């Protein structure tokens, strides 16, 4: 993997040798020129590259932080967010390393129920490589998963609900079917009302999670959920993998639903590359 942006001495002179040794404070880019040759980045380097914004003073699980909502999505060159109903065919090993790193940095993973159903979602797992950093950051052993659903038409016997390391949440509206709410709670799921009627209000969902100490938020879509987060103006950052693939067809884009009135402008924060895949990180200005 190599860094294309922001440009560093190492990026600008990929064949050069800066004289610094690898593993130093420089993190990604330290190791003088190795990035140009595409060495594999350690998980610690990836974690540093994707760190959430620093928190202000505070205490508790969220460290007194303001919530920061990041999305992680993958798209083909022609804008497909899936192939044959899954995102895996348009991903790659480096994308999965970043996917895992972003999960390891997050307090909670916000995901739409259809993605859970189609991708066979499993709970986030504790990983030894991130254990010390999570403990130092006041985080539990793994990110919680928060599923957004109006119907609660979900199989609560699945490991995501029945045996997660940290309890799974469901965000739903006040009109959620009571029998499904009862079934979820019987399985150990925490059901959080974050909207009037059937649907979840995106801003209320973010606030509800922050009130429970989840301030490093990561959403993994899908497109219908992400579109609402974009439209509501609550998305702070997009980590978008651009896969060097063309699929044509009628796949969803990474964000769907009604268009926003004015396109929302984001700023490029970083761009990594491996094997023709671009790993971009954009944040709201
Ligand atoms: N390329 C990528 O990075 C990426 C990432 C994720 C997913 N995907 C792909 O995207 C597809 C699934 O995405 P999708 O857009 O169809 O679905 P989705 O956004 O994952 O889930 C939609 C479902 O979420 C619930 N939901 C969404 N907004 C809600 C609201 N405001 N209030 C209450 N519930 C709400 C509803 O669940 P109920 O029906 O239960 O009420 C709705 O049917 C899959 O093919 C998956 O592979 C791709």
Each residue's pLDDT, cut to its tens digit, for the chain (285 residues) gives 999 999 887 666 544 433 333 323 233 443 444 445 578 899 999 999 999 998 754 444 445 689 999 999 999 999 999 999 999 999 999 999 999 999 999 999 999 999 999 988 999 999 999 999 999 999 999 999 999 999 999 999 999 999 999 999 999 999 999 999 999 999 999 999 999 998 999 999 999 999 999 999 999 999 999 999 999 999 999 999 999 999 999 999 999 999 999 999 999 999 999 999 999 999 999
How many A from CA of 131 to the centre of ligand 1? 30
Task: Give the pLDDT score at 211.
Answer: 96
How many A from CA of 83 to the centre of ligand 1? 15
How many A from CA of 154 to the centre of ligand 1? 13
Pocket test for ligand 1, best of 193, 223, 254 (most atoms within 8 A of CB): 223
pTM of the model: 0.91
Select from 191, 119, 122 the least CA-distant residue to 151: 191
Ligand 1: atom nearest CA of 171 is 33
Q: CB count, 10 Å around CB of 148?
A: 27
How many A from CA of 96 to the centre of ligand 1? 20
Residues with CB under 6 A from ligand 1: 73-74, 81-82, 85-87, 112-115, 118-119, 148-151, 153, 199-200, 220-225, 228, 252, 254, 256
Q: Respond yes or no on whether the N-terminal peptide bond of residue 81 is cis (omega within 30° of 0).
A: no
Q: Respond yes or no on whether the N-terminal peptide bond of residue 115 is cis (omega within 30° of 0).
A: no
Select from 264, 260, 267, 265 the least CA-distant residue to 282: 267
Dist CA 250 CA 252 (whole Å): 7
How many A from CA of 284 to the centre of ligand 1? 23
Task: Give the pLDDT score at 12.
Answer: 61
Q: CB count, 10 Å around CB of 259?
A: 11
Distance of CA 124 to the CA centre of its chain: 12
How many A from CA of 161 to the centre of ligand 1? 17
Pairing of strands 277-283, 267-274: antiparallel
Q: Write down the H helix ranges in 59-215.
A: 93-105, 113-119, 128-136, 159-162, 178-186, 202-211
Dist CA 224 CA 65 (whole Å): 27
Ligand 1: atom nearest CA of 223 is 15
Measured between alpha carbons, how far apart are the two ends of the chain, in Å? 26
Contact 232, 202 (CB under 8 A): yes
Widest Cα–Cα separation across the chain? 65
Question: Is the torsion defined by CA of 52, 229, 151, 158 positive or negative?
Answer: negative
């Amino acid at each position: 993997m190599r860094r294309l942006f922001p440009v560093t001495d190492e990026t600008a002179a990929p064949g050069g040798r800066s004289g610094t040794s690898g593993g130093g404070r420089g993190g990604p880019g330290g190791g003088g020129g190795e990035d140009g040759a595409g060495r594999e980045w350690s998980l610690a380097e990836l974690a540093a590259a994707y760190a959430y914004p620093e928190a202000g003073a505070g205490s508790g699980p969220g460290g007194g932080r303001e919530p920061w909502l990041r999305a992680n999505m993958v798209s083909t060159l022609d804008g497909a967010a899936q192939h044959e109903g899954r995102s895996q065919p348009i991903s790659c090993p480096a994308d999965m390393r970043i996917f895992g790193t972003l999960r390891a940095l997050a307090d909670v993973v916000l995901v739409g129920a259809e993605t859970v159903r189609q991708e066979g979602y499993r709970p986030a797992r504790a990983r030894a490589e991130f254990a010390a950093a999570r403990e130092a950051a006041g985080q539990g052993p793994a990110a919680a998963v928060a599923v957004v659903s109006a119907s609660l038409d979900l199989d609560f016997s699945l490991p995501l609900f029945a045996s997660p390391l940290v309890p799974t949440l469901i965000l739903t509206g006040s009109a959620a079917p009571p029998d499904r709410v009862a079934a979820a709670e019987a399985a150990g799921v925490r059901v959080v009302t974050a909207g009037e009627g059937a649907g979840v209000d995106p801003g209320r969902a973010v606030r509800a999670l922050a009130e429970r100490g989840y301030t490093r938020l990561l959403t993994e879509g899908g497109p219908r959920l992400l579109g609402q987060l974009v439209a509501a103006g609550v998305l702070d950052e997009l980590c978008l993998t651009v896969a060097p693939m063309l699929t044509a067809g009628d796949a969803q884009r990474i964000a769907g639903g009604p268009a926003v009135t004015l396109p929302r402008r984001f700023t490029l924060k970083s761009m990594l590359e491996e094997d023709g895949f671009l790993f971009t990180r954009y944040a709201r200005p």
